[in-house]
Amino acid sequence: MAKKSVNEYYLMHKDIPVCLMEISNDGTLGKYRKNNSAIEHFPLGGQMNDMKFHDWWKDRAIPKTRHGAKTALQRLGYASTNCALVDNLALSLSDCYWIKPRGADLTWNDVNLFTNDFVDTFGEITINQDHLIDIRKKTRFNCATSQGELQKKWCIDDTGRRYMVKGNYGESYQQSLNELFATELHMQQGYSNYTKYTLTKLSVEGDMEGIGCLSYDFCSENIECISAWELLQTTKLKQNESYFYPLKKVCMDIGMTEQAFHEFMDYQIMTDYLISNTDRHMNNIAIMRNPDTLELLGFAPIYDSGNSMFYNVPYEKLDSVKLDDIKTHSFVERECKLLSYVKNRNAVDLNKAQVSFDIYTNDIYERQIRIPKLKAKYEQKLARLSAFQAGKDIWKARKF
């Protein structure tokens, strides 16, 4: 085994060093010393104690469980996603943190991925495992770190804009198509704070042409994101407590108004309910702030609505889904109970929710027979939400 060596890096927030840390060649964080004169720039998620900061660092790497990560690591010669993180200076396209080797003469201008070229070879391999990719065609950076399990890659378009391409789990394209379905719903609603997804072609297993989705970066050098999960690390939580009110408190502590919090949540909870999004966990909600002034800018535009519309329910089981029993990964376990957090039941206009199902005709042939069933389920959800808007507390209808 290779000998363990340790190197020193500054954790940087743009050009502000926030701490000096020891990182071993396998990417693990050892001792670190905070720069007390810039303590407000230290990552929020790591402020409470040592363990939290170690977790913040670990969470920064691409999850080991990312589809295709194993192949990408092998092909690029990294021992782990932590090694890839360090080799790419922990740069991301969602915030302005990075690491600078001690003694190196580098600035944010020299390295940041918002303005410097990169080729996300790591991401490309996760999306496109069978395809021959010339890994010699490499810029200084071959990976931008990001969260989530689905294969994804960051790219740069002709005009220099950064965008993310996401694939799907398994053979169907439904997760990508769902992102477009959600996009269409938000568009009809005339709501503005959502991430717009479009379809894109990509190669899937066997070097076949498949479908993924694409969204432009909602962050920039002047806007960075912090997940709800990270925000929650700044507060003590009671065991089994729902994250809803702690999150509200943290958001208000950093400058959000109570009204802004509820307006966003009301809309997101009700639209998620309509599309049966079962994955609004704390990494799928984020706030945005100005990385220079640290001023809160509000919630990040609604993103990651792919795990919805019964994407993981096989055709034969669709009829037996009980809409009042749907389980979700969010503030509470039971989907319809999330509606109990809604303050303004009219935050969604049900007259503007007749979304076309044509998008699902892009799925693989066998999957298209699902369309009438998905439509029927959506209609049932609309009827329930309509009853909710008329005053019925639908989660109370029966005991769980």
Q: Which residues bind ligand ADP (CB under 6 A)?
A: 94, 146-150, 164, 166, 195, 215-219, 225, 283-284, 303-304, 306
State the residue number with the nearest CB to ligand ADP. 148
Site for Mg ion in 288-307 (CB under 5 A): 304
- Give the x-and-dash track for 122-161 against Mg ion (CB under 5 A): --------------------------x-------------
Cα–Cα separations (whole angstroms), residue 366 to 173, 313, 318: 11, 14, 15
- In the list ligand ADP, Mg ion, none, the entry touching 218 (Cβ below 5 to 8 angstroms by class) is ligand ADP
Closest by CA to 49, choosing from 34, 38, 59, 27, is 34
Question: Under 8 Å CB-to-CB from 285, ≥6 apart: which residues?
Answer: 227, 228, 247, 268, 299, 300
Q: How far is the CB of 230 from Mg ion (least distance, A)?
A: 14
3-class DSSP state of 185: helix
Which partner, ligand ADP, Mg ion, none, binds residue 219 by CB below 5 to 8 Å per kind? ligand ADP
> In the stretch 190-209, what mask flags binding to Mg ion with x, by CB under 5 A?
--------------------
| Cβ neighbours for 144, distance < 8 A, ≥ 6 positions apart | 88, 91, 92, 93, 113, 118, 120, 123, 154
Q: Which is nearer to ligand ADP, 18 or 127 (CB)?
A: 127
> 14 in the Ramachandran plot: left (φ > 0), alpha (ψ -120 to 50) or beta?
left
Q: Can you read off the two tokens belonging to residue 34? A: 């905070």
Decide whether 150 or 223 has the Cβ nearer to Mg ion: 150
Residue 13: in which H helix or E strand, if any? strand 6-13
Alpha carbon 400 to chain centroid distance?
A: 30
Q: Closest approach of Cβ 296 to ligand ADP, in Å?
A: 17
Under a CB-based contact definition with an 8 Å cutoff, are residues 21 and 8 in contact? Answer: yes
Q: Which is nearer to ligand ADP, 19 or 182 (CB)?
A: 182
Q: How far is the CB of 281 from ligand ADP (least distance, A)?
A: 9
Please identify, using beta-carbon distances, which residue of 68 and 306 lies nearer to ligand ADP: 306
CB 297 within 8 A of CB 223: yes
Q: Which does 303 bind (CB under 5 to 8 A by kind): Mg ion, ligand ADP, none?
A: ligand ADP
Cβ distance to Mg ion smaller for residue 231 or 353: 231
- Contact set for Mg ion, span 300-339 (CB under 5 A): 304
Nearer to ligand ADP, 189 or 215 (CB): 215
296-299: strand order across its sheet: 224-227, 286-289, 296-299
Closest CB to Mg ion among residues 121, 284:
284
109 neighbors 101 (Cβ within 8 angstroms): no
> Using the 8-state DSSP alphabet, how is residue 25 labeled?
T
With binding defined as CB under 5 A, does residue 284 bind Mg ion?
yes
Shortest distance in whole angstroms from residue 57 CB to Mg ion: 20
Residues interacting with Mg ion, by CB under 5 A? 148, 284, 304
